[in-house]
Structure 1
């Protein structure tokens, strides 16, 4: 039907132009091009390029479905109460919040919190990424910002809702500090338009709009974006603590058949530093491992192996030479023995199985989540890091490049100690220290802790050799097995001949 109407209009234009003495070909050519654009979807593409950033998302995410972020949820809920009960807020003279910034590491649940905010306030939810607003064409980004706010209000009126939430992920791309892109003013124009739209938001518009931004680089944001009246609240979304990790694990395992031996508290304890995304992946990987074995339930061993997989990657097919495996075994046992001497019960497992970039590794279990570290604790950690190198020196007579990663971590730790006044230099400004003095302070602390690690290796040389032979045979030792052997104290459970078969000397 539309084609017939267009043909009729074209014929009418042609006839009118003919009797008027005008050339109808330009008009017909222009009409033909518009017809082609319409038929091929070109007009829709152009409209989307000019103002199609962000899409309305139907979601039913609630705050009860988000674990491990009690503080962030509490602060966010308080801010949303102003939006949910506008009359009560107005009676107290409270200005509705215009923006809330969620800042924290990747994978901590910032997007989920924004969706839960929309559900809680019964608001329409539009989501966009900061990169969607930036184009090489001048004015396109600003137009997209205007279109996004307009569509949020239209969606609210269409669905009969008084609230709308606009979520902009990675807002640091859109809201980075002005003036740093000297050859490309499009960034600044787009940010200026966002600032203007947030200034123009009023509670009397019929639909209250709340902008929720998410970033893990808040230091890159323009100060004008962070001032009161735009992003009024900064909500920290940090990595979950042990109790938070337990809550998240319970949420992600609720739909999974768990074996009776599964101890989620132990898993939460062993996953220090994991984000919510890591824990979701952990539960999923444990289920995949159970599927590989055709197991009906997910056991504790599946979760423990999944921790290693999420942390370091899948097991690799590469198989080092026997001499290399023996060196790796000695190295990892050195770490484990010093770790148990410094803090009993700290070793979760050690293995010579290759994962990612690691030929072997020793995984520790933190006693609790720490946010402040004493000098004695940091020196103990240095001793553990240097114990692998010390074990190679004492038992094998030389070092290897396998200690490179340990040394990098140790040097980073010592730099923090120097900055905190825990070195012989006293309280200093690290940035103003001559390079030679800083290197000297680092060297002194590392040599002190390495000497202590060597002392332990020398005292327990036979026990370390015996444990290394056992690890070489089994490829993996659980923390409980290691502690049983350390408490037993006498050797050899695995005689020297077991190591001699690898082609290297055991002493």
Structure 2
């Protein structure tokens, strides 16, 4: 899934102001360290929490920290990283390893293609949201509006599915299932290219308005075939881009699988490395 909002910087400031003075503790399997210790700088802990909180509002964070603080006080102990992280995650059970690996592959595919096609900045990736996985991205200058630009958007949207097919030889339903899904958005873009943007294979000068792609495509096999061909070309190109950047892709999958959430700085360090 692809999103276009980034709240990390605001979340960092919000978390800092809320937990100030609480002596936030990072729990570890080996020992517990306060963020005042030199080994665990406070800003590093807050940055990790802010990355976890990508997509949440300031009000969400205030509520989560307030509930975590009350829990810690009832148990007569300092507020911990684990307390706040559990609240951010909504106390959801951990994602099974096989599902987490597939999500990491899918989202890494989107990220690698977005970067390789120079579409804009990546400000974060998560495989631990209620919806599954998410790339938070921006588009350089909002796009040029050309046919080449729209074709690159199709490549980006098909990249998650392409990555799954490349590694698993089969795709999950994660790319589809809803209007705002990868396949839902890609289908609408491809249909717009055929009927509304002047890029169509037949009668390109006609502007044909449509509210819902489903009845339009269901009752016009020829149009559906042209739209589907655009999606096939996008998926094929996405596969090529991932294969061309395979070492970086593999590294991003591994690190995303381990961390579950990576901020933009961490993602870009991987994408610009020699892997």
TM over 0.5: yes
Segments of 5+ residues of structure 1 without an aligned counterpart are: 1-269, 273-278, 491-507
Q: 1:420 aligns with which of 197, 200, 207?
A: 197
> How many Å separate the matches in 1 of 2:21 and 2:50?
13
Contact 1:345/1:483 (8 A) holds in 2:
no
> How many Å separate the matches in 1 of 2:135 and 2:151?
18
Residues 293-345 of structure 1, C-alpha deviations (whole Å, 9 max, x = no match) = 3369999947766551149x853413221100000000000000000001165
Higher RCO (CA < 8 A, seq sep 6+): 2
Segments of 5+ residues of structure 2 without an aligned counterpart are: 23-41, 61-87, 211-215
Q: Counterparts of 1:411-490 in structure 2 under 5 Å?
A: 411-418=187-194, 419-425=196-202, 426-430=204-208, 435-490=220-275
Q: Which secondary structure does the structure 2 equivalent of 1:308 belong to?
A: coil
Contact 2:251/2:270 (8 A) holds in 1:
no
Mark the structure with the bigger radius of gyration.
1
**Length, aligned pairs only:** 208
Q: 1:360 aligns with which of 133, 136, 146?
A: 133
* Displacement after TM superposition at 1:429 (Å): 4.7
> How many Å separate the matches in 2 of 1:344 and 1:431?
27
Residues 433-470 of structure 1, C-alpha deviations (whole Å, 9 max, x = no match) = 75212211210111111110011222333432222111
> How many Å separate the matches in 2 of 1:479 and 1:339?
13
Q: Counterparts of 1:372-411 in structure 2 under 5 Å?
A: 373-404=145-176, 405-411=181-187
TM (norm. structure 2) is 0.64
> How many Å separate the matches in 2 of 1:472 and 1:465?
11
> How many Å separate the matches in 2 of 1:466 and 1:373?
33
Q: Which secondary structure does the structure 2 equivalent of 1:389 belong to?
A: helix
> How many Å separate the matches in 1 of 2:150 and 2:118?
12
> How many Å separate the matches in 2 of 1:271 and 1:457?
24
Q: 2:56 aligns with which of 309, 313, 337?
A: 309
In the superposition, relative to structure 1, how do residues 322 and 489 fare at CA in structure 2: closer, same or farther (>3 Å)?
Answer: same
Contact 1:318/1:354 (8 A) holds in 2:
no
Q: RMSD of aligned C-alpha atoms?
A: 3.4
> How many Å separate the matches in 2 of 1:322 and 1:305?
19
In the superposition, relative to structure 1, how do residues 350 and 271 fare at CA in structure 2: closer, same or farther (>3 Å)?
Answer: closer
In the superposition, relative to structure 1, how do residues 414 and 295 fare at CA in structure 2: closer, same or farther (>3 Å)?
Answer: farther
In the superposition, relative to structure 1, how do residues 336 and 289 fare at CA in structure 2: closer, same or farther (>3 Å)?
Answer: same
Q: Which secondary structure does the structure 2 equivalent of 1:349 belong to?
A: strand
Q: Which secondary structure does the structure 2 equivalent of 1:363 belong to?
A: strand
Contact 2:119/2:140 (8 A) holds in 1:
no
